[in-house]
Structure 1
Amino acid sequence: MLPVISADQYATRSAVLSSIVVSWSPLLHDIHATVSLLAVGGKSGKISLWRFYAPDCYTIEGGKIPSAVKFVGFLEAHNSWVTTISWLSFSVNSSNPQILLVTGSSDGSVKVWLGDYHKLIKSTEVDQNVFILLKEVITVNVVPVSVLSVTVHVQCSSKMLSAIGKGSGSFEIWLCDISSKEFNKLGSYDAHDYIVTGLAWAFGGRCLYSCSQDNLVRSWILRDRCLDEVPVHMPHNNNSSSASDDVYDSCLGAAVSPGNLVVATVHCFDVEKLNRMYEGRVLRAAIEYHWIGGLHVDICLNRPVPFYTEELSGLAEKDLTNWGSNIIWSLNQYQCLDRPLVLLDIILALLDFKVSMPRYVEHLLIKWISLSFPGFHTDLPNEKTLLQVSSSLSGVPSRMLHLLNIICRRVMLAQLDADEITRISSEVQNTKGECCSMDEQVTKWIAILGSSERELRERLVGFSFCASQTSKSRPGATPFQTGHWYPVGLAQMEQWIALNNDHVRGELKSIASEVTNEKSRCSAVESCSYCSASVPFESPEFGLCQGKTSGSGSNDKRHKLSRCAVSMQVCPSIPLWFCVCCHRVAFRLAPDPLFRMSSSQFDSDFVTKSLSRAVSSKPLCPYCGILLQRRQPDFLVSPLPV
C-alpha cells in the first residue's frame, strides 16, 4: 500500500543511501553538550551528517546507557561520488574554536569547508548555511581523488597542511591559512605508479608517508616548503629487521601511531607467491610496523640537549640524539588535555632501549623532566634533578604527573608487578626511603612514583573537601544527579589526613578542618561485605576486617578488601573499574577538574569555576590518567593486547 515512486526517484534515493566513505569528527565541546559528528559520503555527492552525543555518565553495571544519535541533514558537497572525507579542529583561541571539513570526489575535485562550531553542536538541522565553502583547491578534472590527510601546521596553529592522493599515483601538498583564507600549492609529486591508497602526516606535518597499490611505502620530509624523500626503515637497535616484501601484492593504507614513533602499513598477499598450504589465509591482510622515531625532522626543543650516548649500541650518536629529541617531543604533545593518554609506542621504544642501554633511557627521561616540568632546569646534574622531583611536584600539572607515573611503572619499574610496586612504595614512604632490600636505583624511582601519586591523592582529597564546602551554596542540587559530581568518602579522607599528618600540607589540613568543624564527625568504620565485621581505616589501598571464625582454637579470619581509588571507601561486591597500569580498582569516578589542575592550589575562584563543570569525567584512573576497564575475573583471558 506504499505510494509508487518513479525510476528517477528510486535512482536518486539509491545513490543517497549508497555509502562509500565515513569519517568521525573530533569531539565538539559546549557548556551544554559534547558531541561528535559522523559524516557519510555516498554516490550522489551528498554527505549525510549524524550527531552522536557523549553520555552524561559512564557505568560498568549490566544496563547499557543508550546512545543519543540524531540525523541532522545533508551537505551537497560534490556532483559525483564522495571518495574521501577528513575533519580537522583548530584551537587558535579557546573562545572561538573552528572545525574544518575537507572532501574529495571521483570527479577530481577537493573542497575545504568551514563549519559553524556552535551550530554543529546545537542546531536542529544542518544545511548549506552551516558550512561555508572556503576553497575548491582542486577543480573538476579527469583524475579521481582517492585519499586525503590533513593536519595542523606545527609552527602555526592557524595553518593546515593537506595531502591529496589521486588515482594516477601522484599527490599534491597544499598549505592553507584559515585566518586569512590564503591557499598555496606547495607541489605535486609523481610518487607511485598506481592509485595512492594511503597518506599519513607525522611529527606535526614535518613528515609524510604515502603508499599505493604498487606496494610501495615512501617517506618524505617537508623542508623549505618542498618534500625530500628519506628511507622508510629507521631501526632503533641493531636487532630490528623488516619482513620481505616479496609476498605482498599491494599496500592498502597507512597510519601513524599516537606518539608518532611508528607507522603501520596494511598489505595484501600475492596469491601466486604463497605456498598452497596457506590458501586458507589468502583473504587476510598483513600489518607491517616501521620504527620512525630515529628520523631527523628538525624538532625544536626549548634548547639543544646533549643525550647520553656512551653505551655500546648499533646506532650512531646522531640516531640516538634523534630518538631522544623525538621521544621528548612526543611526550610533550600529551600536555594537550583533550588528547587521550595512549603511550604504547613510546613505552615499547623505551623498553627496547632499556634492554641494551639502560643509562641512555634514564638520562633521556631526566632530560624530559628538566625540560618540561615547571621549576626544573637542564643545567642540574641528573642526581640532583631526581632528588628535586620528589619535593617539587606541587606546581606540576596533573597531566604531567600522570605521564610521570605511567613512565615509572611501565618503563623504569617494568620488572616489578604493579601490586608489588604499590606495596614497596608504601614501605619506602614509611621508612623515609630507607628500603635496603631493594636496589638503590629501583628505590629511587619508586620514591619518585610514591611522591607523584601522593601529590595526586592530596589534590583529590583537597578538591573533595572544597566541593563539599561549596556544594551547600548550590540550591536544588541532589546527590548523584546525572552529569554532576559529588564528593563521597570524606570520613575516610579525614582518617587518611590524620594518619599522614606529618606529610600532608598545611593548606589541606586547614580545608579539611573547616569542613569537619561544620559537620558532625562521621565514623570511618565500615562493614565487611563477607562477614559484616567492622573494617577500620588503616590504608587507602585496602582494608582488613575484624572478623573471627567461631569455635575454640580457631585462628583469626580477616578478609582483605580493596578500597576505591577515588573515595577510599571499601569496594562493594559489584562490577568495578580497573586500571591496567597501577592495578587499582574504583566504583566511583573522579571529577573532571582533577585531570585539568595546573598545580595543587585550592582558591575559592578555582573551586567555584571547577564545580560548575565538575561532572564525572570519562572513566579515567586518578593516578595514571588512562581509561579504566571493567575488571575481569582472574580465570578469564587477559584483555591486554599481546
Structure 2
Amino acid sequence: MTRSCPSSLQPAILLGAPSFPSAIAWSDDNLIAVASGHLVTILRPDLPVGGPRGVIKIFPSQPLCVGLVERQDLLSRCLLPTTLYRDDKPVVRSISWSPLGMAANSGYLIAVCTSEGHVKIYRPPFCDYCAEWIEVVDITKRLYENLKCTEFLDIGIATLDAFDKNVSDQMDSLYKHNGKLLKENPENHSPLISADQYASRSAMLCSLVVSWSPLLHLASEYYPVCDSFSLLAVGGKSGKISLWRFHPPDCYTIDNKDVPTTVKFAGLLHAHNSWVTTISWLLFASDPSNPQILLASGSSDGSVKIWLADNDKLLKLSKMDQTSFWLLKEVMTLNAVPVSVLSVTVHVQYPSKILLAIGKVSGSFEIWLFDISSREFDKLGSYYAHDYVVTGLTWAFGGRFLYSCSQDNLVQSWILRENHLDKITLNSDMPRDSSINISRDAFDSCFGVAVSPGNLVIATVHCFDIEKLNRMYEGRVLRAAIDYFWIGGLQMDVQLKSPFSALLAFKDHNSKYTEHIIIKWITSSFLQLDMDLPSEKVLSFVSSSLSDIPSRLLHLFNIICRRVILAELDADQITGLTRKVEKLESVCPAMEKHITKWTEILLSIERELWKRLVCFSFSIFRTIMSNPETSSQHGCWYPVGLAQMEQWIASDQKHLGDQLKAIVSEVSHKKRFLANRCSAVETCSFCSASVPFESPEFGFCQCENSSDDDVKPHRLLRCVVCMQVCPITPLWYCVCCHRSGFRLAPEPLFRMSSFHVDADTFIKSSSQAVSSKPFCPLCGILLQRQQPDFLLSPRPV
C-alpha cells in the first residue's frame, strides 16, 4: 500500500466575499482562516478542492444598553450615523490567531471582530464532531460589564445598576435599533444622558480590529505553564485599545469540551484620537534576559504609534494601565490619509533593528527602520505601489522580502537592498490541477496576503468579477477564492523550519537529489562539517553519535525519515519494518538496500528518544523517592509505566548504555516500585484477559478462546509516553508516526541537548517538570484527537 505525496496547492473557492483588509491569516499548525462575508472559513491548504473545512457563522448581536437619550437628539451630528444605520447582516471585519496552546486541546483560539463592532473568541470543535467552531468568550460583553463600573461612571452616571434595572423593566416600551436603546416616553423616567455621552459609550464598545500577541513567559530555562500568557489587543472607534490577558489551560484535554477559557481584562490604552484601524505585535528578544513586547497601532487619522513594554514587567502586573506600555515613537503624525495595514518584523541581519511597513488607503506604503538600542527611526522610503487601498502587507525571510496587495487586485513582491526596496516579479505559480477551471483574469480585487510557516508559500484572497463569470453557474456560487504562490528558495534559501513539502516535490522528480540534500543537511547540522562525505559514512557517523545530538534535531530527522525518505510506506508498514529489519530482503527486494539503510536509521533514532524518555522517568522517580514532598507539589509531572519500561529495557539490552541500566537497577530494587502506578499486571479492556508486554507499540491479550481460529486476540494500543495499554477513552494521536497516548510527556524532555543524566539537573527538573503541550516524544509535533476524514484537523507536518 503506497501513500501518495501531497499534491500542489489548488485554489480554494469561498462562498462569501471579504470586505476588509487583512482578511486572511495563516497559523503555525497550517490552518488558513479567511474572513469571507458572514463566515470565517477555516481550511488546510494541502487538502484537495472539496475537502473538509471549519466555519464560524456570524449572526446579529444582542443589543447592549448604553443609555437613553431624548428623541430630538437622534438627529444630532454625533448620533446621525447610528440613526441611519440599517445593516442587519453583519460580516467579518478582522480575524487573528492566538499563539499555540491557548485552546483546551493545545491548539489555537481565533478572535473574530464583526462589522457590528462585536468581538468573540472561538475554539476548534475537537470533541464536538462538527464543522462549526465553538464560541468560548464574548469579549464585547466582558468589556461592557467592565465599563459599566469604570469608564461609564466618569461621564455622567453615578450608578448604572439601578439604571439597568429600570431599563430591563421597560424593555417592552423601548425601541431597539442596532443594539442601542432609544427612549419612547416611559412613565418611570430613567436617568438620561446626552448625545455626546451616548456616542462616546457606543464608540468604546464598537471594535474594529483584533490582534493577538506572541506568548509571553518568564525568561528562565524552567517555567510553569501557568506563568505564560498572551495579550489580545482590540482597537475600536474610541481610539482606545483594550487589552485582554489569556492564560493557557492548566491541563490539556481532548474529551472535555467544558474547560473554561481563562481571560482577564488587563486595561485600556489610549492610543489615538480617532479610529484604531490596524494593530501589529512583535516580541523583541535581542536581549534574552529582558525581552520586550512591541505594539504598533495605526489610525484613521493617519497616525502610527509604537508602544513598548517589558516582558517581565507585564508578567508581574495583575492589571495594566497607561504606564504599562510607554510611547516609544509616533512614527507618523496626523495625516489626511488613513492607515489600513501594518506589518512589523525584526531585521534578520541586524537583530537590534526593526522593520515597519505602513499601508495606506491611498495605495502607497512606507518603510521605516528603527534601531532599538539607539532609539533612532529612519524612513527608508515611500512607495506608490497600488491604485487603491493597500489591503495586505507581510514580511518574509526575516525582513528581506515584503509582499503587498490591494483592492486593485495586484499582488507585488519587494526585496530589501541596503536601505531601499526594489520591486521583483512574482511569477512562481503553483502547479494547477487541469480539472480546476479558475482563471486569475476573473479576479477583481485582493483583500489580504499571508505567508506560510517556513516562508515557502504566500496565500492571497481575491473577490471575483461577476461580469467575467458564467452567470448561470459560476456567478451564482463563486464569491471569492484563495490563491497560492510558491516563494521558497526563489531568491533566498529555504528555511529548514518546514522543508518537507519542498523535499517531497524534489523527490517526485529526482529521489537521489533529495537524498543528497538530506545528507548535506545531516552533515552540517549533526556533524558540524562543511565537507561532502558519502551517504553511508555520514549515516554511520550519525548512528554512532545519536546520544550527543539534541532531541529537537532527532525529532526533525525522524520526521524526514518517515515523511520524505520512506513516504511510499504508511506508518503501520514502517512500524512493522522496524521490527524485522533483517528480513527486508523478502519484504521488498527491489528497494531492499534503500529501505534497509533508512529504516535502520529510523529505528536507531526512535530507540534513542525512547531511551531518553525512560531514563528521564526513572531519574524523576528516584528523585521523588529521595524527596517525597516533591511529588505532592501541584503541577509536577509523575512518571508512570515504569514496569513496562523495565520490560522494554530487558528486551533490548544490547542497545542500552550502562548509565540507563544502573538507574533502572537502582529503582527496581526499591519497595515502592511495586506500587499501583508501577504495576506490571495489565488486563484487556474488552475481555479482562491479561496482556503481556511484547512491544512498546501494542499488545495482544491472552484470551481463553484465542486458540480458536475464528477468535482472534484483541490488539491493544500502548501509550507512546508510558508504554501502558491505552484505555477505551479518547486518545492523543500523532499524525506523523500514527502512535497514540493518554499521558503527556514532561516539558524538559524536549529540550535535552544530549543523553546525559546529571543528578542535580534532574532534581531541579523534578520540581519544575510539568506536563508540556501534548507533543509526541518521538516526532516532537503536537498530538491531537483523531478526527474522521470528513472533519477538518490540523496537520503540522
Match of residue 187, structure 1, among 381, 385, 399: 381
Residue 685 of structure 2 corresponds to which residue in structure 1?
529
Q: Take 1:221 and 1:87, find their aligned partners in 2: how far apart are those partners?
A: 22
AA aligned to 2:781 is I
Question: What is aligned with 1:301?
Answer: none
Question: For residues 287-343 of structure 1, what are the alpha-carbon distances to aligned partners after superposition, in whole Å with 9 as ceiling and x for unaligned?
Answer: 11000113223xxxxxxxxxxxxxxxxxxxxxxxxxxxx23xx11xx4xxxxxxxx4
Which structure 2 residues correspond to residues 143-162 of structure 1 after superposition, within 5 A? 143-162=337-356
The 3-state SS of whatever aligns with 2:197 is helix
Aligned to 1:306: none
Counterpart for residue 200 of structure 1 = 394
Q: Give the 5 Å matches for 1:79-94.
A: 79-94=273-288
The Cα shift of 1:271 comes to 1.4
Offset, 1:434: 10
Contact map agreement 2:278 2:299 (CA 8 A) in 1: yes
- Superposed displacement of residue 76, structure 1: 0.5
**Other-structure match for 1:167:** 361
Instruction: Name 2:211's counterpart in structure 1.
Output: 23
Task: Say which SS state the counterpart of residue 150 (structure 1) adopts.
Answer: strand
Paired AA for residue 395 in structure 1: D
Aligned residue in 2 for 1:245:
440
Match of residue 766 from structure 2: 611
Contact kept? 2:430, 2:484, Cα under 8 Å: no
Q: Does 1:484 align with 2:636?
A: yes
The TM-score, its normalising length taken from structure 1, stands at 0.88
Q: 1:405, 1:624 within 8 Å by CA — same for their partners in 2?
A: yes
**Counterparts of 2:792 and 2:578 in 1: how far apart (Å)?**
26
User: Is contact 2:211–2:279 with CA below 8 Å preserved after alignment?
Assistant: yes
Equivalent residue number for residue 704 of structure 2 = 548
Show the counterpart of 1:407: 560
Q: Separation in 2 of the partners of 1:291 and 1:636?
A: 28
1:264 Cα deviation from its structure 2 partner: 0.7
1:482-631 residue pairs with structure 2 within 5 A?
Answer: 483-519=635-671, 522=674, 523-549=679-705, 557-631=712-786
The one-letter amino acid paired with 1:581 is C
Deviations 1:360-394 (A, max 9, x none): 21111111111122555533223311222222211
SS of match in other structure, 1:140: coil
Residue 470 (1) aligns with residue 664 (2): no
Q: State the Cα deviation string for residues 563-618 of structure 1 (Å, max 9, x = none).
A: 00000000011111111110000000011011111111111232133223311111
Displacement, 1:555?
6.3
Corresponding letter in the other structure for 2:234: V
Q: Label 1:389 to 1:433 Cα distance change in 2 as closer, same or farther (>3 A).
A: farther
Q: Deviations over 1:500-551 (max 9, x none)?
A: 100111111111112112335545231111111111111110111111229x
Q: Which residue of 1 aligns with 2:474?
A: 278
1:296 and 2:448 correspond: no
Is the Cα–Cα contact under 8 Å of residues 563 and 571 in structure 1 kept in the other structure?
Answer: yes
Alignment of 1:16-165 (within 5 A): 16-30=204-218, 31=223, 33-165=227-359
Structure 2 residues not aligned, in runs of 5+:
1-161, 164-190
Q: Distance in 2 between matches of 1:637 and 1:239?
A: 23
* CA shift digits 1:189-221 (9 cap, x unpaired): 111111111111111111110111111011111
Instruction: Look up the match of 2:449.
Output: 254
Once residues 482 and 498 of structure 1 are traced to their aligned partners in structure 2, the CA distance between those partners, rounded to angstroms, is 33
Matched residue SS, 1:29: coil
| Range with greater deviation from structure 2 (143-152 or 28-37) | 28-37
- Partner letter of residue 573 of structure 1? I
In the alignment, is the contact (CA less than 8 A) between 1:233 and 1:292 conserved in 2? no
Summarize the Cα distance change of 1:351–1:510 in structure 2 as closer, same or farther, 3 Å threshold.
same
Paired AA for residue 260 in structure 1? N
Counterpart residue number, 2:56: none
Kept in 2: contact 1:25–1:38 (CA 8 A): yes
CA shift in 2, pair 1:7/1:236, >3 Å: closer
Is the 8 Å Cα contact of residues 146 and 165 (structure 1) preserved in structure 2?
Answer: yes
The answer as to whether partners of 2:209 and 2:236 remain within 8 angstroms in 1 is: yes
> Are residue 353 (structure 1) and residue 509 (structure 2) matched?
no
Q: Which moved more, 1:558-567 or 1:270-279?
A: 270-279
**What is the alpha-carbon distance in structure 1 between the residues aligned to residue 596 and residue 192 of structure 2?**
79
Deviations 1:398-436 (A, max 9, x none): 1111111111111111111111111101222x6799977
Please report the TM-score for the alignment, with normalisation by the length of structure 2: 0.71
- Aligned residues: CA RMSD: 2.5
Q: Compute the displacement of 1:91 (Å).
A: 1.8
1:548 and 1:555 in contact (8 A); partners too = no
> Residue by residue, what CA displacement relative to the aligned partner does 1:106-149 show, whole Å, maximum 9, x if unpaired?
11111111113223233222111101111111111111111011
Deviations 1:74-104 (A, max 9, x none): 0001111111101100222332111100111
Kept in 1, the 8 Å contact 2:624–2:631? The answer is no
**Which residue of 363, 378, 382 maps to 2:531?**
378
**Alpha-carbon distance change, 249 to 436 in structure 1, aligned in 2, over 3 angstroms:** closer
Closer, same or farther in 2 for the Cα pair 1:567/1:549, shift >3 Å? same
Indicate conservation of the 8 Å contact 2:344/2:354, yes or no: yes
For 1:55 and 1:482, how far apart are their aligned partners in 2?
A: 14
**Are the structure 2 counterparts of residues 573 and 553 from structure 1 closer, same or farther at C-alpha, using a change threshold of 3 Å?**
closer
Which position in structure 2 is the counterpart of 1:364?
517
Counterpart CA distance in 2 for 1:159 and 1:618 is 32
Q: Tell whether the 8 Å contact from 2:719 to 2:743 is kept in structure 1 after alignment.
A: yes
- Distance in 1, matches of 2:584 and 2:627, equals 42
Residue identity over aligned pairs, in percent, reads 63
Is the 1:57–1:482 Cα contact (8 Å) retained in structure 2? Answer: no
Residues 238, 169 of structure 1: alpha-carbon distance in 2 compared, 3 angstrom cutoff: closer
Change (3 A) 1:236 1:273: closer
Give the Å deviation of 1:230: 1.2
Deviation, 1:166, is: 0.9
Q: Which residue of 1 aligns with 2:202?
A: 14
Determine if contact 1:264/1:290 at 8 Å carries over to the other structure: yes
One-letter identity of the residue aligned with 2:345: T
Matched, 1:447 2:600: yes
Report the AA paired with residue 449 of structure 1.
L
Q: Distance in 2 between matches of 1:508 and 1:70?
A: 46
- Residue matched to 1:427: 580
Distance in 2 (alpha carbons) for counterparts of 1:242 and 1:167: 33
Structure 2 counterpart SS, 1:445: helix
Q: Which secondary structure state, in structure 2, belongs to the residue aligned with residue 612 of structure 1?
A: helix
Structure 2: distance between partners of 1:264 and 1:124: 39
Instruction: Quote the residue 1:302 is aligned against.
Output: none
* Matched residue type, 1:628: L
